[in-house]
Amino acid sequence: MQCPLMRLSCCCLSPKVIFMALGILGFALGILSAIWPRRSIGLYQWIMERFNWKVLPIDEAREVRNTAYLGFFLALLSAALGLAALLKF
């Protein structure tokens, strides 16, 4: 069943809008993780403390390096998702 609002060009539930929003959000998080990996790790630790879990990296230098690499990779994948959504839909 298709959304009845899909006939309207401004439907906020259209796949194009959803995938573009996910692409932009993922790109922003990826860039922030690539630029400030320690801040991303700190955010994750803060979130886990809310669930009463203490998370500490075993090798901090390796954790920071991997967070920066994965942030860059997330930014690339999110840019590809946004471009695919822009061209496909």
Would you give per-residue pLDDT tens digits along the chain (89 residues)? 565 555 555 556 778 888 888 899 999 999 999 999 999 999 999 999 999 999 888 999 999 999 999 999 999 999 998 888 888 76
Give the count of domains, the chain: 1
Is 10 within the bounds of a domain?
no
Residues 6+ away with beta carbon under 8 Å from 30: 71, 72, 73, 74, 75, 76, 77, 78
For position 57, what pLDDT does the model report?
85
For position 15, what pLDDT does the model report?
80
How many C-beta neighbours within 10 Å does residue 10 have?
7
For position 16, what pLDDT does the model report?
82
Residue pair 84/22 in contact (Cβ under 8 Å)? The answer is no
Is 33 within the bounds of a domain?
yes
Is 5 within the bounds of a domain?
no
State which residues form the domain around 40. 15-88
Tell me the C-alpha distance between 57 and 63, whole Å: 7
For position 14, what pLDDT does the model report?
78
